[in-house]
Amino acid sequence: MRCLVIGAGAVGGAVGGRPAQAGREVVLVARGTRPTALGEHGLRPRVPEGETGYRLPAVGARSRSVAGCTAGPPR
């Protein structure tokens, strides 16, 4: 199963981190500087079991390509 999480903030990071922890393919979509930060530092959710880390692909919200799928112009 592949997961696309739109909005990789606190909630989106938690939502994306759990399937990644289970070995699923996850792509995060984020705004601003977050895609760069995720690329440099990875996703590091703090959960009751402790802090974990994942290297997940992250793209900018204005990107026209997400995981190989090309989108049309913004409306």
Q: What is the pLDDT of residues 8-52, one digit of tens each?
A: 888 888 888 888 888 999 999 988 888 888 888 888 877 787 887
**Distance separating alpha carbons of residues 55 and 42, to the nearest angstrom:** 5
0.85 exceeded by the pTM?
Answer: no
Q: Which two tokens stand for residue 38?
A: 């995720």
Model pLDDT for residues 54-64, shown as the tens digit of each residue: 888 888 876 55
